[in-house]
Every structure is written in structure tokens, then in C-alpha cells.
Amino acid sequence: MTSEWEVGRVEDLKPGTRRIINVKGRQVGVFNVAGRFYALRNICPHQGAPLCEGEIGSTLLPSRPGEYVVGREGEVLRCPWHQWEFDITSGRCLVDSRVRVKTFEVVVRDGHLFLIA
């Protein structure tokens, strides 16, 4: 059965930041990516690291040899253990979309954030 879990006030989760909350005994990271909200389970599908504690930032987009193109600023979460990169907006690993971390829906109501889990 799904229910709503209060995350906190919208104004307390600024763009580019995250908050890790407990939901039914499980840790979930809630992220503000440029004003949109996403939530990911705090377990890396690779070896079980606390994925949501990783660095939030950009990536180097696939490019021609010798070319470096920075992109997806703020949308990429880098696992603190083995540096695998995940798309915060989809939970999918950038290099292998079959590898994904569980995502949750986040809704905004009356200035507060709620996680659907």
C-alpha cells in the first residue's frame, strides 16, 4: 500500500541539494534538480553503497575523440564508492540503462514536499 511521507518544506531543499530521509525503515534521497524534485533509494545497485550521499554534478557527454563536452549540470549523481554515474531524473546508470536505482514520486502541496512510497 502506498502512502505519503512528508519530506519537509520546499524552501528548505534548495536547487542542487538533497536530503536523505527514512521511509518505512529504508533510506531515500530526495533531490532538488533545478526546481524539480526526485527521489532515489539510497542503495547503489552495484555493490550496495549509500548512493545518495554521492557528489551531485555534471558529466562529460559522449563526444568525438579529443573533445570534452560538459553537460547535464546538476542531474548526475556519482556513487561515492566506485564512481558510477546515475541520472537523478530517471534513476538509471548513465552507461547502462538496465542498471537502475529505485525511484519514487515526489509531490509538492502547500509548500511542503511529500514522497509517495
Partner 1 sequence: MSHAILIGESSQLNISNMVNADAATALASAYNDWLVTTWLSFDSRLLGSAFAATQDPIAAAREIDRIGSHPQIIQIALGSGARMPYGQRFFYPIFEAAERNNLAIAIHPFTEGSLIANPPTAAGYPSHYIEYHTCITGSIQAHLASLVFEGVFERFPRLRVVIVEAGVAWIAPFVWRMDREWKSLRIEVPWVKRRPSEYVNEHVRFTTQPLDEPDNPDHLVQIIGMLSSPELLMFSSDYPHWDFDNPERVLERFPDDVQDQIFFENAQRFYQL
Asked if residue 23 binds partner 1 (CB under 8 A), the reply is: no
| Exposure letters 57-72 (e unless 16+ CB within 10 A, then b) | eebeeeeeeeeeeeeb
Least distance to partner 1 from the beta carbon of 47, Å? 4
Q: Closest distance between partner 1 and the C-beta of residue 82, in Å?
A: 6
Q: Does 20 bind partner 1 (CB under 8 A)?
A: no
Say if residue 1 is exposed, middle or buried (CB neighbours under 10 Å; 0-12, 13-18, 19+). Answer: exposed
List the interface residues with partner 1, window 38-77 (CB under 8 A): 47-49
Q: Which is nearer to partner 1, 2 or 83 (CB)?
A: 83
What is the C-alpha to C-alpha distance for residues 115 and 3, in angstroms, rounded to an integer? 8
Q: Give the interface with partner 1 as residue ranges (CB under 8 A).
A: 47-49, 81-83
